[in-house]
Amino acid sequence: MIEKWNELDDQAVIASRALAMDAVQKVGNGHPGTAMALAPVAYTLFQRIMRHDPSDPKWLGRDRFVLSAGHSSLTLYIQLFFSGYGIELSDLKSFRTKGAITPGHPEFGHTAGVEITTGPLGSGISSAVGMAMAARYEKGLFDPDGKTELFDHNIWVIASDGDLQEGISAEACSLAGTQELGNLKVIYDDNRISIEGDTHVAFTEDVPARYRAYGWNVIEVSAKSNGDVDRDSLEVAMLAAQKEKAKPTLIRLHTVIAWPAPKAMGTAESHGSALGGDEVAATKIALGLNPEESFAVPEKVLLHARKVRDRGANSRKNWVLNFAKWEKANPDKALLLQRLVARELPKDWEKAIPVFESGKDIATRAASGKIINSLATVLPEFWGGSSDLAGSNNTTISGGGSFLPSTSAMNGANPYGRIIHFGIREHAMGAILNGIALHGLTKSFGGTFLVFSDYMRGAVRLAALMDIPSIFVWTHDSIGLGEDGPTHQPVEHIASLRLIPNFTVVRPADANETAVAWREVIRRGKPVGFALSRQNLPVIDRSCCASAEGVAKGAYIICDTESVPDVILIATGSEVHVAIAAAELLKAENISARVVSAPSLEWFEESDKSYRDHVLPPAIKARVSIEAGVGSGWYKYVGDSGEIISLEHFGASASAVELFKEYGFTPENVVAAAKRTISRK
């Protein structure tokens, strides 16, 4: 039972506001205003509303908290301090400094209690939609009949005006309404201030009406007459939001930024700048504090706030008791949960992955679709979909049912279905996949055309930054898509995606490379993007070429010579079979050509140097790279003496066969390039 709000709670809120000012003032930069205004909001949420246990930040039964307004990181850090997650006053004093566990924006994996990296506005609330979807899908795995509340928890979000201005949040929140995600609760901090001042210079829409149109439950909470948060009304709204199960909830909370700073409150300057010593002192006086003290938290206030640890521990204890009963009654589901929590894969799971016969042609997107369906038979945690391109991306799990609420009138609707219909919302799809990955137990994927990876790049970058296993399936990977023309033909995209640190791009040459690549992606559990062909590609005859197992090392010798090669041909994707054909032509002229298939340069770079030197011997300077995209990244592999066959301009509307011929992706052109590079030795 939570105690009645008392004077110590008031003092904790006051201390929270002072800490926000002090931390920014000490380092000289940051965002104090929002953290000051939201102190009673975050304190109420952590102390009185959310189900969490600071002694076990990864407790399966916890609510999740997403600070979508990541610039106001102190809003979160101060409550982690009060709750006892391991942040102490010394950490608040080192805010935004090198090595601190209190960086400028919250970083997943860096600070206990931080569920997600936020900062790019709109991304947090959008990934929270993914967390809410994941929670429902997991409910279907472990309690489809609704016999327990063990797997029912809420996703709480604090979002800013900026979050709701970003298009990604509109995409995600529209889908959340369609999905009737009753476990999603968003507190919208409507303070009407951003860096350029009053948000009404650009943002005048009726936000509550928009969210009602999305299908959300909307609750409005006005500020007090003095501008402070009406905390009592807010708590009533939070409790009402908890009871809402059929719709996501938006609590529109009117606040005054930097309240109660005499000169700074309500100003744009307080959004992203230290208040200054005089203003900090004046504000502390207004709060009834000693202006000469900094980072002052009375011991009795801290002890009172940290009682939340006892409440959390008791909540988890009761959960564990109920979990034991569920575990006994559901042994098979319990074993599945145990495996997923341990991040393990079932025994011999990879045997489900098909092997493709040579002598047939199949697009790697089609092969991927077959592999996805095979994986689904052995991995119940595997689900995903597409941004309205499932038929083209081959991302449908046959018989999986559409992930839609039980009230949906759509055919195949299933609240625990395995097929996600993201709609034409690529950026939100990326963020939602990140949210699903962060939620922790399942593996999901999302597909679109490679050219539209531009729309989702922010989410892809965050997946790489957080090092989470988001899987992006991009098809129609080159001019090979043909007649749709240059608007749909990716040229610079593969090279651009390879520039993202900690991100892997996989462009397989045929169906069997695709199969090994999928196996590695599932096994490794890292952020990855597939680049798959629209057009059919020959299934390479492995009786005369090396096994596709070489994909696991990123690049491998697919066709070799009996003697030391005169030249090395390095290719990816649909261009590998062109390189193999070129090697045969060169052989007829007594020129020895080694062919290297390089589906993933990132995995290749992870291999040890001896292996890399075996595949690409430093002594062999004659090299040709072949990839139907910009060639800037290939200089590293071909050197000054090498040749790059690439595409340094946009494509055209014509058949794939015509375009490959016109732009030089032919065996004959590769032969000519090989001879030129050999002549430079």
Residue 482 is part of a domain; what is its CATH number?
3.40.50.970
| 594 contacts 565 by C-beta, under 8 angstroms | yes
* C-alpha to C-alpha distances, 284 to 15, 27, 43, 482, nearest whole angstrom: 10, 18, 19, 66
Tell me, yes or no, whether 323 lies in a domain.
no
Q: pLDDT by residue (tens digit) across 380-390?
A: 999 999 999 99
Residue 551 is classified by DSSP as G
Structure tokens at 276: 């200054």
Question: Are residue 461 and residue 572 in the same domain, yes or no?
Answer: no
| 414 contacts 402 by C-beta, under 8 angstroms | yes
Ranges in the chain, pLDDT < 50:
none
Q: pLDDT by residue (tens digit) across 55-90?
A: 999 999 999 999 999 999 999 999 999 999 999 999
Tell me, yes or no, whether 338 lies in a domain.
no
User: For residue 648, what pLDDT is reported?
Assistant: 98
User: For residue 1, what pLDDT is reported?
Assistant: 63
Question: Are residue 370 and residue 490 in the same domain, yes or no?
Answer: yes
Average pLDDT, the chain: 98
Residue 356 is classified by DSSP as P
Question: Are residue 490 and residue 424 in the same domain, yes or no?
Answer: yes
| 533 contacts 363 by C-beta, under 8 angstroms | yes
Tell me, yes or no, whether 337 lies in a domain.
no
Please report, as a single letter, which amino acid is at residue 174. S
How many CB atoms neighbour CB 32 within 10 A?
Answer: 31
Q: Which DSSP helix (H) or strand (E) runs through 471?
A: strand 471-475
- Tokens 């991302």 locate to 395
- What does the alpha-carbon distance between residue 553 and residue 223 come to, in Å, rounded to a whole number? 59
Name the residue range of residue 615's domain: 551-679
Last residue of some domain: 538, 562, 593?
A: 538
Q: What's the CATH number where 642 sits?
A: 3.40.50.920
Of the candidates 31, 13, 26, 51, the one whose C-alpha atom is nearest the C-alpha of residue 149 is: 51
What is the chain's alpha carbon radius of gyration, rounded to the nearest angstrom?
28
- What does the alpha-carbon distance between residue 514 and residue 680 come to, in Å, rounded to a whole number? 36
Q: Is the dihedral of CA 135, 141, 143, 145 positive or negative?
A: positive
* C-alpha to C-alpha distances, 29 to 105, 117, 166, nearest whole angstrom: 12, 20, 24
Tell me, yes or no, whether 502 lies in a domain.
yes
Tell me, yes or no, whether 330 lies in a domain.
no
Last residue of some domain: 313, 337, 371?
A: 313
Question: Are residue 534 and residue 565 in the same domain, yes or no?
Answer: no
- What does the alpha-carbon distance between residue 95 and residue 51 come to, in Å, rounded to a whole number? 27
- What does the alpha-carbon distance between residue 322 and residue 339 come to, in Å, rounded to a whole number? 20
Question: Are residue 142 and residue 210 in the same domain, yes or no?
Answer: yes
Tell me, yes or no, whether 332 lies in a domain.
no
- What does the alpha-carbon distance between residue 651 and residue 660 come to, in Å, rounded to a whole number? 10
Mode of pairing for the β-strands spanning 556-559 and 593-597:
antiparallel
Question: Are residue 422 and residue 282 in the same domain, yes or no?
Answer: no
Q: Is the dihedral of CA 457, 458, 461, 462 positive or negative?
A: negative
How many structural domains does the chain have?
3
Query: CB neighbours of 5 closer than 8 A, spacing ≥ 6?
Result: 48, 231, 232, 235
Question: Are residue 404 and residue 444 in the same domain, yes or no?
Answer: yes
Tell me, yes or no, whether 562 lies in a domain.
yes
Question: Are residue 382 and residue 508 in the same domain, yes or no?
Answer: yes
Q: Is residue 426 flagged as an active site residue?
A: yes
- What does the alpha-carbon distance between residue 234 and residue 222 come to, in Å, rounded to a whole number? 9
Last residue of some domain: 287, 313, 339?
A: 313
Tell me, yes or no, whether 1 lies in a domain.
no
Question: Are residue 520 and residue 576 in the same domain, yes or no?
Answer: no
Question: Are residue 71 and residue 103 in the same domain, yes or no?
Answer: yes
Question: Are residue 376 and residue 428 in the same domain, yes or no?
Answer: yes
- What does the alpha-carbon distance between residue 652 and residue 595 come to, in Å, rounded to a whole number? 29
Active-site residue (options: 107, 138, 180, 426): 426
Question: Are residue 470 and residue 589 in the same domain, yes or no?
Answer: no
Q: pLDDT by residue (tens digit) across 401-422?
A: 999 999 999 999 999 999 999 9
- What does the alpha-carbon distance between residue 629 and residue 438 come to, in Å, rounded to a whole number? 33
